[in-house]
Structure 1
Amino acid sequence: MAEKRPTILQIIPELDTGGAELSTIEIADAVHSAGGHCIVLTEGGRLVQRLRDTGAEVQFFPAAVKNPLRLLWNVHRIANVVRRDGVDLIHARSRAPAWSALLAARRTGVPFVTTYHGAYSEKSDIKRLYNSVMARGDAVIANSHYTSDLIRMRYGTSRARLHVIYRGVDGRLFDPANVAADRVAAVRRRWSVAPDKRVVLHAARLTPWKGQKFVIAAAAQLAKQSSLDDVVFVLAGDAQRRNAYRSALMKQIQAAGLEDRVLLVGHEDDMAAAFCAAHVAVVASVEPEAFGRAATEAQVIGTPVIATDIGAPPETVLGRPGVEPERATGWLVPPEDAERLAAAIAEASSMSPEERARMGARARNHVLKSFSLKQMKQQTLQVYDSLLGTHMAEPT
């Protein structure tokens, strides 16, 4: 008798941008390629068609609600989906819908998996309880060792239920050989950056903890020193309705007289071309990144990275000064330290083309070895198999 085709239900609030959203799509593709069926409950977003292209079924659902009464009603609705569509396992990727998904899974008797995507803050007992749902899965996936240690410290989650699965990077999509010159030129035109300018790229949504103001401060320091006059700082990221924060950044840029040197360009769809256009990429987060995909995406393109030395980036970036130059793939600097950030940018910009090419090659090989999309898919399917008794993962 043929093995039953497993049906995996993923639930995520929206499909606009971000690591959790892209992981949803990539795991849907892995399930489909392994002969399974994937359903995604979501409120929608710009990535819906990309999800559908994997063969997944999208069901529009109020997955972003936080009202307790509506969350309880969602338990009933999710349980109905499980029964109607023969769902074998529920995988939740965000806290509010995870509560509804957990109760629906217990009601219907199907396994419940969570992926702990963020280093969620816990400033009160209520917030701690709210966050704890992400550690209540039959299997809990942590996207880095930093995240795994955080989960065990906060909730005492057993190692048997914890699985460290790094966020995967598509080495073919982020392959400089596959990024045509006209795509890079098109990105520069969208940014209004001249071909002779070098780009320092900070790619992150506009929110204070991503550290944009320290990138601007570093640019101001370099400008005062009359350093790197051929460098443009590009802050690429969606404001996500944080208009007051965007306005504050614009005022900071204007006050420093950097209107021609620091550009807020909004969301960028073609990140492979964007990182190809960059001379160096910056991850300036002032709070710990649970993983930080910008660091791995830039490295696999061959672009050196400067990241803050908190959270997961020390796992993904082989950073100077702590790593010897012949092994380094970038730099690690303290958070909220514009002076050290400026110094690293100056050092990166002073590299010869040959030195930068060697660092870029090391960076690409480092990511392909340890943070590949294939590894992430395979390891996630192994978690599903362990709970379902199926054989979706390829034999290792």
Structure 2
Amino acid sequence: MGKRTLLQLIPALGAGGAERGALDVAKAAITRGWTSVIATSGGHLLPEAEAAGVVVIQGPFGSKNPYQLWANGRHLRSIIAAHEPDIIHVRSRAPAWALKFGIGRDPRIVTTYHGTYNAGFGIKRAYNRIMTEGTRVICISAFIMRHVADEHPESVDRLRLVPRGIRLESFPATSFKPPSVPRLLLPGRLTRWKGQMLFLEALALLRGAKVHVQASIMGDAQGRQEYVDELNGAIDRLGLRPNVQLLPPSVDMASAYQDHDLVVVPSLDPEAFGRVPVEAQLACRPVVASDHGGASETMGGEGSCFLVTPGDAMDLARGLKTAITAMHAPDFDARLQGAKNRVAGLYGLDQMIDKTFAVYDEVLACPRPQ
């Protein structure tokens, strides 16, 4: 058997979980003796990929323009002819369609279903279905696996659960000391569905109940200045200016968690996986999160994770108050260590890599048409 080649298709190598996962798998392929190729438009992870020995081929692979999809299909056909990949791993819908235009169905294709894609009907559902046409379909959480099975029942036998993987070494052992005034952190893009406005409403309820906290809302506005202005207006209207700060995104989230005492994830829509609750538990920090999507499966029962009703400010305030009270329990540090150990076993990077390559092995073992 000659040297294996992995080709991954992803629109960009940006900051998201899908992009980081693609790069982690690309680097693991090289470690395992494979040739690793990524077709992408580029992004800030590009230098890391090239430094690791990944062959990066750039092009407008995120475009949904019909003409560009057709052109990308021709480009991908030439890439595949040149590199002869054993596995073609597709991580987004636009390059999946381009690939179909370029080579049609192919038994080497693996897809990863990264989100619900706002399922919809008719044309939208047909557009999404391309992600179920792989020989195997990786789902990043049990929530997504159920969603795909419900939306595309014909794909059930080809679905494989591979949770996202997190670098455990980024979260060294630490201890927790209960604070006199808890510091709360809500990290995530500044967009309405992430629940920042709901968080402010809950903080106002805590203030009315004489529960004193300091809070940070950390994230990239990505040009949504109108929403930032709305958040600042709500902070002033609710009398929270002395207690709430808006912070830019951090490249060192492990330190950001350590600088706070409680992590809050009040998403209005379900997260496909939800990296923040897992990272917070690895950082030995309690978490209050909306009870839907990935958070419902990554939050544990050790007594340091608190699930609340999505979109309910009163229940969010109740959950925050419960978490703040729990911080002073004599065994709270032990609860946090228990949560850390659980998620380290379930969501470390090694499990994602091993399970991904197990899927590749399945595909490689499938009969190929002559």
Tell me the distance in 2 between the aligned counterparts of 1:372 and 1:217: 34
**Unpaired stretches in structure 1, ≥5 consecutive residues:** 180-194, 391-396
Aligned equivalent of 1:201, options 185, 190, 194: 185
Give the counterpart letter for 2:189 in structure 1: R
Whether 1:300 and 2:282 are equivalent positions in the alignment is: yes
Give the counterpart letter for 2:194 in structure 1: K
The Cα shift of 1:354 comes to 3.9
Give the counterpart letter for 1:173 in structure 2: S
Task: Give the equivalent residue in structure 1 for 2:245.
Answer: 263
TM-score, normalized by length of structure 2? 0.91
Tell me the distance in 2 between the aligned counterparts of 1:247 and 1:42: 34
Structure 1 stretch displaced more, 21-30 or 373-382: 21-30
Task: Give the equivalent residue in structure 1 for 2:121.
Answer: 124
Task: Give the equivalent residue in structure 1 for 2:226.
Answer: 244
Aligned equivalent of 1:382, options 341, 355, 358: 358
The Cα shift of 1:388 comes to 2.1
Task: Give the equivalent residue in structure 1 for 2:267.
Answer: 285
**Unpaired stretches in structure 2, ≥5 consecutive residues:** none
Matches within 5 A, 1:1-396: 3-106=1-104, 109=106, 111-176=108-173, 198-228=182-212, 231-318=213-300, 323=301, 327-350=302-325, 351-352=327-328, 354-389=330-365
The Cα shift of 1:162 comes to 0.5
Q: Secondary structure at the match of 1:160?
A: helix
The Cα shift of 1:356 comes to 3.0
- The answer to whether the 8 A contact 1:139-1:163 is kept is yes
Structure 1 stretch displaced more, 350-359 or 336-345: 350-359
Q: Secondary structure at the match of 2:157?
A: coil
C-alpha deviations, 1:223-268, integer Å up to 9, x for none? 222312xx32212222222232222222222222222322221221
Tell me the distance in 2 between the aligned counterparts of 1:65 and 1:86: 24
Matched pairs, number = 362
The Cα shift of 1:380 comes to 0.1
Tell me the distance in 2 between the aligned counterparts of 1:150 and 1:102: 23
C-alpha deviations, 1:287-319, integer Å up to 9, x for none? 11111111111111111111111112111102x
- The answer to whether the 8 A contact 2:69-2:101 is kept is no
Q: Secondary structure at the match of 2:160?
A: strand
The Cα shift of 1:110 comes to 5.5
Tell me the distance in 1 between the aligned counterparts of 2:298 and 2:103: 34
Tell me the distance in 2 between the aligned counterparts of 1:367 and 1:260: 35
Tell me the distance in 1 between the aligned counterparts of 2:229 and 2:58: 33
Structure 1 stretch displaced more, 114-123 or 290-299: 114-123
C-alpha deviations, 1:27-70, integer Å up to 9, x for none? 11211111112211222222222333433222221122111111
- The answer to whether the 8 A contact 2:70-2:102 is kept is no
- The answer to whether the 8 A contact 1:330-1:359 is kept is no
Tell me the distance in 1 between the aligned counterparts of 2:27 and 2:313: 41
C-alpha deviations, 1:107-162, integer Å up to 9, x for none? 7x461111111122123312111111111111100111111111111011333310
Structure 1 stretch displaced more, 123-132 or 358-367: 123-132
Give the counterpart letter for 1:128 in structure 2: R
Structure 1 stretch displaced more, 155-164 or 287-296: 155-164
- The answer to whether the 8 A contact 2:107-2:363 is kept is no
Structure 1 stretch displaced more, 9-18 or 72-81: 9-18
The Cα shift of 1:353 comes to 6.7
The Cα shift of 1:214 comes to 0.9
Give the counterpart letter for 2:191 in structure 1: T
Cα RMSD of the aligned pairs, angstroms, is 2.1
Tell me the distance in 1 between the aligned counterparts of 2:61 and 2:332: 44
Tell me the distance in 1 between the aligned counterparts of 2:82 and 2:92: 23
Tell me the distance in 2 between the aligned counterparts of 1:93 and 1:258: 41
Tell me the distance in 2 between the aligned counterparts of 1:120 and 1:73: 24
TM-score, normalized by length of structure 1? 0.86
Tell me the distance in 2 between the aligned counterparts of 1:47 and 1:354: 43
- The answer to whether the 8 A contact 1:205-1:239 is kept is yes
